[in-house]
Amino acid sequence: MDRKLSAILAADVVGYSAQMERDEAGTFERLRARRKELFEPEIARHHGHIFKLMGDGLLAEFGSVVDAVECAVSLQHALAERNAAVSEDHRIRVRIGINLGEVIVEGEDRYGEGVNVAARLQQLAEPGGICVSAKVAKEVEKKLAFGFEPMGQQKLKNIAEPVQAYRVLLDPTVAGKPMAVNRHPRFRRNLAVAIGVLVVAVGLAAAWWRPWEPPLPPTALTANAKADTRPSLVVLPFDNLSDDKAQGYLADGFTEDLTTELARVPGLFVVSRNAASTYKDKETKPAEVAAALGVRYILEGSIRRVGDDMRINAQLIDGSTTGHLWAERFDGQWTDVFALQDKVVVSIAGALKLRLVSGQGKADVAGGTRNPAAYEAYLQGMEIYNRRNTPDEFAQAVRFFQQALELDPNFGAAAASLAWAYWDMDGPRVKALAFSESVAFYNVYKYLGEAAKHPSPSYYQLVASLLVREHRSDEAVAVMFKAVALDPSDPLNYVGLAEALNFNGRPNEARDYLVAANRVDPGGNDHRYYQAGLAEFGQGRFEEAVDYLERIDLQSPDPWPKFYGLQVLVSAYAHLGRSDQVAAYSDRLRNVMLERKDGGANQLVTQRYFVFKNPADIGRLLDGLDKAGLPELPEGVDLDAKDRLTGSEIRSLILGRDLRGGGAWIDKGTSWVQQNFLCDAFPKVQTTCGAIFRNPAGTPERRNEYTAVFRFDRFEFSTVK
């Protein structure tokens, strides 16, 4: 049996069966023409060969993974150009998956897991998109001008171990970038639209469950479903059976809302929408889903919309027996969508013997809407916003959110989405909307003000992130408790709460909520590994911190877990006295900091992002970095070290005094001493720290007795006695 390492490309036509049903002969001829005119010559041009043809797809082998990725991108661009010239029902769109792995050679055919993974990755790709494994991304990221966006660990059908997947960024405006840079270390999420309040009790004598409590005891970050005795449920992605496949956003939005609403039912545990989404468009066995997600019950169904008529089919399955507990069909008008959702939730509560005791409209308490037109515009915006979008598409999503808010000025989730959109803006996106960056920043707080009138979980998430930046972690913790209470199924709420608690000096509690995040969304990811490592580090448990931080994928295009995690990892290894690891990871840290363009690797950068409440916590981190040799100040500081003020001197000479000079630095804000640094937090501005030096030649009249050195700037000033 011969084996070899190969790059395998798997391609499959989207909607092939539907096209064949409409026009069998025409579809066959169009597909054959595309294969002869495009696929075969393009694959050959990139030194590959097709070893298997299926009715609606193909498998090809390449000796070079670079050739495989270049070929896939060329195919998708060429198909997009051809599709632009034909009607919608005649377009041929494909999904492509690429894997690098060992294959079994048998004549002209290829078998084995290397082939199987490529085929499964293809199923994860978007229509017209490309999905690759981590091995592929790692091999080509520095050789090709394409960016890669992480999709997280994916559980693939009939593949034993989860596979880290990446989406290839085809947009030329992001070519060469590892991923779109967010200004905060978090994952983007689908925003739940709250509809219909349900207050449910578990039997007559059941106790209320406080949804903000972690659903599992803090025993480990790996979830143990058996420790949770509540009824547990996953809402699998509803199928879109509408003739207009572009209305898939309705099924996605309906699934999201059901997940959120059911998660608010006291006594019922619901897995996150993110975890359930990995099963979209896949044939799965109920027992396998239940085992993988640690739940007993599975809700699945479909939604069909024809004009204003809607039909929703849903069924509840017991994963332990695969028996159907309940199945029902709901018919109504699109204007009845909220009532239909309420009926589904009430019916499930009844099937699980959860008793409805009272209810009232929830639109106001969770930022939702009762306006069907506003709801639909919002869902259209979210469908675009949550995929890898071009700047023009991003602008389109913003316009949908604005339309939703115009249709319902009380639609808090739409306002929060607009705030998030303006917060996530980069240069090309700002240009697409014809705004300046200052206007975009202004709009963040403008729409947060609108969202505050009818707060949603996404509103609280952004507010907490901004509060942490401003060194206000007490308030951030309180805000994130509200977010968790509104949507206990969202792992980002728990991770956001863990972040606030870590910086608030409560790392043991942070760990509790990371357990909760892993329960609603099984499987770790780099952001959780970083937060878990930070929680262990905050308790002086350096060995345990290293264990989590070592799991961060340093090859991932996402810069934030590396940026944060490497600083903690280097400090932890320094505290442990492991010089070899300190040296190795210090080099990687310097490279990541240079990529961030934050002034190189120094402790002023660290203090800008690690906004601990307690001096001991930042001291622990800086002491380790000091031992590791990370400089305190940027390169090129030409001031004499003997003129630098100590922390105690800053307290006595600077704090509490009026300052004169200093340009833009002197402003109204909160100042404090952090080791031998002066730190400041201003409203709506990230925390900044600097070193203070005496100026031997300075005078009060010239307002230059002292010099403050920050990451990029320095200011001369004097104090008023």
Do 632 and 603 contact (CB within 8 A), yes or no?
Answer: yes
C-alpha span between 585 and 567 (Å, rounded): 9
Does residue 539 sit in the same domain as residue 597?
Answer: yes
Per-residue pLDDT at 260: 83
CATH code: domain of residue 303: 3.40.50.10610
According to DSSP, the residues that pair with 313 across neighbouring strands are 302, 329
Tokens of 575: 């505290």
Residue type at position 479: V
Q: Are residues 8 and 136 in the same domain?
A: yes
**Same-domain status, 347 and 225:** yes
Residues 237 and 301 in one domain: yes
Q: Specify which residues 104 forms β-bridges with.
A: 3, 111
User: What pLDDT was estimated at residue 226?
Assistant: 42
φ and ψ of 125, to 5 deg: -70, 150
Closest CA to 535 of 212, 220, 272: 220
Whether 237 is covered by a domain: the verdict is yes
With DSSP H G I counted as helix, E B as strand and the rest as coil, what are the percentages for the chain, rounded to 5?
Answer: 45, 20, 35
Classify residue 439 by its DSSP letter.
H
What pLDDT, on the 0 to 100 scale, is given for residue 666?
A: 61
Q: What backbone phi and psi angles, to 5 degrees, belong to 193?
A: -95, 120
The DSSP H or E segment spanning 19 is helix 16-22
Indicate whether 535 and 450 sit together in one domain.
no
DSSP 127-140: TT-EEEEHHHHHHH
Domain span at residue 425 reads 371-454
Q: How far apart are CA 132 and CA 116, in angstroms?
A: 13
Let me know if residue 496 belongs to a domain: no
In order of 16, 192, 195, 334, 485, the CA distances from 341 in angstroms are 32, 13, 8, 11, 20
Residue whose C-alpha is closest to residue 490's, from 649, 297, 270: 270
Q: Please state the three-class secondary structure of 178-223 as a single string.
A: CCCCCCCCCCCCCCCCCCCEEEEECCCCCCCCCCCCCCCCCCCCCC
Give the whole-angstrom CA distance, residue 638 versus residue 430. 38
The CATH number given to whatever domain includes residue 6 is 3.30.70.1230
Strands ordered across the beta sheet of 670-674: 658-661, 714-720, 706-709, 688-694, 677-681, 670-674
Q: Are 304 and 412 in a shared domain? A: no
Identify the pLDDT of residue 145.
Answer: 62
Q: Is residue 443 part of a domain?
A: yes
Residue corresponding to tokens 């919309």 = 305
Q: Which residues pair with 312 in a beta bridge?
A: 303, 330
How would you classify residue 353: left for phi > 0, otherwise alpha for psi between -120 and 50, otherwise beta?
A: left
State the pairing for strand pair 197-201/658-661.
unpaired
Give backbone dihedrals phi and psi of 417, rounded to 5 degrees, phi first.
Answer: -65, -40
Phi, psi of 518 (to 5 degrees): -70, -20
Which of these, 46, 41, 76, lies nearest to 61 by C-alpha position?
46
Taking the CB of residue 604, how many other CB atoms lie within 10 A of it? 23
pLDDT of residue 356: 45
What does the alpha-carbon distance between residue 73 and residue 76 come to, in Å, rounded to a whole number?
5
> Do 450 and 405 meet the contact criterion of CB atoms below 8 Å apart?
yes
Tokens 């004549």 belong to which residue?
Answer: 107
**What is residue 613's three-state secondary structure?**
coil
Q: Would you call 281 exposed, middle or buried from its count of C-beta atoms within 10 A (0-12, 13-18, 19+)?
A: exposed
Tell me, what CATH number does 604's domain have?
1.25.40
612: which residues sit within 8 A by CB, 6+ positions away?
Answer: 503, 505, 618, 621
pLDDT computed for residue 242 by the predictor: 78
CB 213 within 8 A of CB 203: no
Q: Is residue 613 part of a domain?
A: yes
Q: Is 323 helix (H, G, I), strand (E, B) or coil?
A: strand
Backbone angles phi, psi at 162, to 5 degrees: -60, 150
Evaluate whether residue 184 is within a structural domain. no
The answer to whether residues 223 and 345 belong to one domain is yes
With the C-alpha atoms ordered 394, 399, 402, 407, is the resulting torsion angle positive or negative?
A: negative
Q: Do 435 and 323 share a structural domain?
A: no
Which residues of the chain have a pLDDT value below 70? 1, 142, 145, 171-229, 266, 353-366, 388, 597-599, 662-668, 721
Q: Are residues 45 and 78 in the same domain?
A: yes
Say how far apart CA 282 and CA 317 lie, in whole Å.
17
- Domain identity same for 618 and 661: no
- For 505, phi then psi, to 5°, come to 85, 25
**605: in domain:** yes
Asked whether residue 395 is domain-assigned, the answer is yes
Please state, as a whole number, how many other Cβ atoms lie within 10 Å of the Cβ of residue 648: 10
The residue out of 611, 631, 651 marking a domain boundary is 631
Query: Which of 578, 611, 631 is the C-terminal boundary of a domain?
Result: 631
Question: Which of 340, 366, 392 is where one domain is finished?
Answer: 366
207 plus 353 within the same structural domain: yes
The SS3 assignment for 4 reads strand
Q: Do 377 and 362 belong to one domain?
A: no
The SS3 of residue 10 is strand
Whether 269 contacts 296, CB under 8 Å:
no
**Dist. CA 642–CA 693, nearest whole Å:** 9
Is 602 contained in some domain? yes
Q: At 443, which CATH number?
A: 1.25.40.10
CA nearest 8: which of 112, 159, 153? 112
pLDDT in tens, 18-75: 777 778 888 888 888 888 889 999 999 888 999 998 877 899 999 889 899 999 998 9
Q: Helices (DSSP H) in 408-541: which residue ranges?
A: 412-423, 427-432, 437-451, 457-469, 473-486, 491-503, 507-520, 526-538
Q: How far apart are CA 192 and CA 240, in angstroms?
A: 18
Element (H, E) at 356: strand 355-360
What is the CB neighbour count within 10 angstroms for residue 581?
Answer: 18
- Residue 178, CA atoms < 13 Å, CB-side half-sphere: 16
98: left (phi over 0), alpha (psi -120 to 50) or beta: beta
Diameter over CA atoms, the chain: 91
In total, how many domains does the chain have? Answer: 5
